Amino acid sequence: DVKVTQSSRYLVKRTGEKVFLECVQDMDHENMFWYRQDPGLGLRLIYFSYDVKMKEKGDIPEGYSVSREKKERFSLILESASTNQTSMYLCASSLGRRWDYTFGSGTRLTVV
Amino acid sequence: GNSVTQMEGPVTLSEEAFLTINCTYTATGYPSLFWYVQYPGEGLQLLLKATKADDKGSNKGFEATYRKETTSFHLEKGSVQVSDSAVYFCALAGANSKLTFGKGITLSVRP
């Protein structure tokens, strides 16, 4: 089975800190995605990547950046964390033009 | 742009009750449609899909039919179980392998 592993299940950071959320997949998927999940808003796409060193903005990229130096790893970076970035962050990957994404278990980030 | 609208929740049912969760979409062209499920403490996983009009997706007793004329993809199950308690997301596939998700609906099933 494909696994998508997110490095932390829970994370607490202070306002203004630089935060790194890591995601690793083990099945050679080209596509990787970062979403945030908020009550009443569902899943919103932050950034995605179709290949190494490639990235594209999703629907809500402001305040975030990403890095994909290796195919299996896709990092989400909060340059200067703010309280409105408190959320559940979900990483996903997929193969080619397949729509059956594999999701990680999520990282619940709290910014205080 | 593409969008997915799900009925408001949460939904609470007794075990063995019939379930319908409504989903409608707005999209250009002919998108593929999906239902994803998120069990407590887990990430999302694909429940079922339909790639063209009149297709029926099914899995684990759940079904949904792609209705182009009403732009709908409602999820149904004839007899729900406690283990079906989860959050359900309707989604459509747009360009470049991107999925657009609805807001999700929480289903709680009482014994």
pLDDT tens across A85-97, in order?
999 999 999 987 7
Which DSSP category does B72 fall into? B
**Is pLDDT of B28 > 90?**
no
pLDDT mean across residues, chain A: 93
Mean pLDDT of B39-56: 92
pLDDT at A39: 87
| Long-range CB pairs of A50-56, under 8 A, 24+ apart, other chains included | A50/B96, A50/B97, A56/B96
pLDDT at A40: 85
CA distance B81 to A10: 30
- pLDDT tens string A31-82: 999 999 998 888 999 999 999 989 999 999 999 999 999 999 999 999 999 9
When mean pLDDT is compared across A17-21, B6-10, B81-85, the lowest value belongs to B6-10
How many other C-beta atoms can be found within 10 angstroms of the C-beta atom of residue A74?
A: 29
Q: Judge residue B54's burial from the number of C-beta atoms within 10 Å of its C-beta, 0-12 exposed, 13-18 middle, 19 or more buried.
A: exposed
**Which pLDDT band, with edges at 50, 70 and 90, does B1 fall under?**
confident
Only one residue has tokens 């997929």, namely A94
Q: How many A/B residue pairs have CB atoms within 8 Å?
A: 52
Mean pLDDT of B31-57: 93
Which residues in A lie closer than 8 A to residue B103 (C-beta atoms)? 40-42
> Which of 5-44 (A) contact B at CB < 8 A?
31, 33, 35, 40-43
Contact A102, A31 (CB under 8 A): no
Radius of gyration for the alpha carbons in chain B, expressed in angstroms and rounded: 13
> Which of 46-105 (A) contact B at CB < 8 A?
48, 50, 56, 58, 90, 92, 94, 96-105
**Is pLDDT of A10 > 80?**
yes
Q: How far apart are the first and last CA of chain A?
A: 37
Mean pLDDT of B13-33: 93
Cα dist. A47→A37, A41, B20, B98 in Å? 14, 17, 32, 11
Which residues in B lie closer than 8 A to residue A94 (C-beta atoms)? 97
**Is pLDDT of B110 > 90?**
yes
Give the ranges where A1-112 is alpha helix by DSSP (H).
Answer: none
- pLDDT tens string B55-101: 999 999 999 999 999 999 999 999 999 999 999 999 998 766 678 89
